[in-house]
């Protein structure tokens, strides 16, 4: 089965129906292992138990960027190959990516309160993730602004690709901006190399969250296809009763 076979939504639906139960099972298993390992990981000698927030925070931050890359590939699929599933994939990835970005910000802020003494710091990383969150919200607003899904898909695809070019530029400029103004307060977690006791749970959690994204994304794509079918049927019904 190749990517072009999936252009038929019914074929995608049947495939998704077969894959999803297994995917859910594997996701739950990996996340359970990851959570157990995170809970039993030793406390950091400086950060104490708060270091465990990292096991949730870092995978969310990774996924916040990974989801935009997935949407960029889907945007190429929409603009270049006109793949019918690409715009479904792009549309359903946006809210999930926004949720991961929000969780990264939230957990980071909860970690920052005991560690830095403040919920929010205009640190370069925090700021660029916040801007990424704003761009996710803008993209979702664009999807919601237009009724016709294929028209919205092409506009959103252009914006997604422009964002993919711009996000590294924004990241770079925000880094520059912060180091110019307050070089003393740039606090980087990656300053020291991670110990194995922290690295392994972190990697397991990262895999678990990526699986979680895949599961949610496929389920959301299935819902979106069904939603579009319902909408088409409703419009058909309405035009029949009007005639």
Partner 1 sequence: MTALAALIRRDVSVALRVGGGALIGVLFFLTVVVLMPFAVGPDLALLKKLGPAILWLGALLASLLTLDRLFTADHDDGSLDLIVMSRTPLELACAAKALAHWLAAGLPLVAATPVLGLLLNLDGTATGAVALTLLAGTPALTFTGMIGAALAVVLRRGGLLLSVLVLPLSIPVLIFGVAASNAALSGPSPFGTPFSILCALSLASLVIGPFAAAASLRHGLD
Q: Which is nearer to partner 1, 57 or 171 (CB)?
A: 171
Under the binding rule (CB under 8 A), the answer on residue 233 touching partner 1 is no
Under the binding rule (CB under 8 A), the answer on residue 180 touching partner 1 is yes
Select the span of 47-55, 93-101, 128-136, 233-241 touching partner 1 (CB under 8 A): 128-136
Under the binding rule (CB under 8 A), the answer on residue 7 touching partner 1 is no
| One residue of 6, 13, 20, 170 binding partner 1 per CB under 8 A | 170
Under the binding rule (CB under 8 A), the answer on residue 161 touching partner 1 is yes
The CA-based dihedral angle spanning residues 92, 94, 100, 101, taken in that order and rounded to the nearest 10 degrees: 180
Report how far apart, in Å, the C-alpha atoms of 237 and of each of 24, 231, 233, 241 are.
Answer: 36, 10, 6, 6
DSSP state of 8: S
Nearest to 167 by CA among 122, 224, 128: 128
Q: What is the DSSP string of 109-159?
A: HHHHHHHHSSS----HHHHHHHHHHHHHHHHHHHHHH-SSHHHHHHHHHHH
Q: Which is nearer to partner 1, 171 or 222 (CB)?
A: 171
Q: Are 218 and 19 in contact (CB under 8 A)?
A: yes
Under the binding rule (CB under 8 A), the answer on residue 36 touching partner 1 is no
Q: Which is nearer to partner 1, 154 or 217 (CB)?
A: 154
- H helix and E strand count, the chain: 6, 0
Under the binding rule (CB under 8 A), the answer on residue 122 touching partner 1 is no
Which residues 6+ apart lie within 8 Å of 69 measured at CB?
164
Touching partner 1, residues 57-96 (CB under 8 A): 79
Q: Are 238 and 61 in contact (CB under 8 A)?
A: no
Smallest gap from residue 47 Cβ to partner 1 (A): 31
| One residue of 33, 137, 203, 214 binding partner 1 per CB under 8 A | 137
Under the binding rule (CB under 8 A), the answer on residue 141 touching partner 1 is yes
Smallest gap from residue 100 Cβ to partner 1 (A): 18
Token pair listed for 16: 């998704």
| One residue of 146, 164, 194, 214 binding partner 1 per CB under 8 A | 146
| Contacts to partner 1 by CB under 8 A | 79, 131, 134-135, 137-138, 141-142, 145-146, 151-152, 154-155, 157-159, 161-163, 165-166, 169-170, 172-174, 176-177, 180
């Amino acid at each position: 089965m190749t990517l072009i076979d999936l252009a038929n939504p019914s074929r995608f639906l049947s495939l998704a129906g077969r894959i999803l139960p297994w995917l859910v099972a594997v996701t739950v298993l990996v996340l359970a292992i990851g959570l157990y390992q995170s809970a039993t990981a030793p406390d950091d000698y400086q950060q104490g138990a708060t270091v465990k927030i990292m096991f949730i925070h870092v995978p969310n931050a990774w996924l916040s960027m990974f989801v935009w890359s997935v949407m960029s590939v889907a945007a190429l699929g929409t603009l270049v190959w006109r793949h019918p599933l690409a715009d479904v994939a792009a549309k359903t990835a946006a809210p999930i990516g926004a949720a991961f970005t929000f969780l990264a910000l939230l957990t980071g802020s909860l970690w920052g309160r005991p560690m830095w003494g403040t919920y929010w710091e205009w640190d370069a990383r925090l700021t660029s993730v916040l801007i990424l969150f704003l761009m996710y919200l803008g993209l979702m607003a664009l999807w919601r602004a237009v009724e016709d899904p294929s028209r919205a898909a092409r506009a959103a695809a252009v914006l997604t690709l422009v964002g993919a070019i711009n996000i590294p530029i924004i990241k770079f400029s925000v880094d520059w901006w912060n180091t110019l103004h307050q070089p003393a307060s740039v606090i980087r977690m990656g300053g020291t190399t991670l110990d194995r006791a922290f690295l392994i749970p972190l990697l397991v959690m990262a895999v678990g969250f990526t699986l979680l994204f895949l599961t949610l994304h496929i389920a959301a794509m299935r819902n979106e296809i069904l939603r579009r079918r319902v909408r088409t049927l409703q419009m058909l019904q309405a035009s029949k009763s009007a005639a």
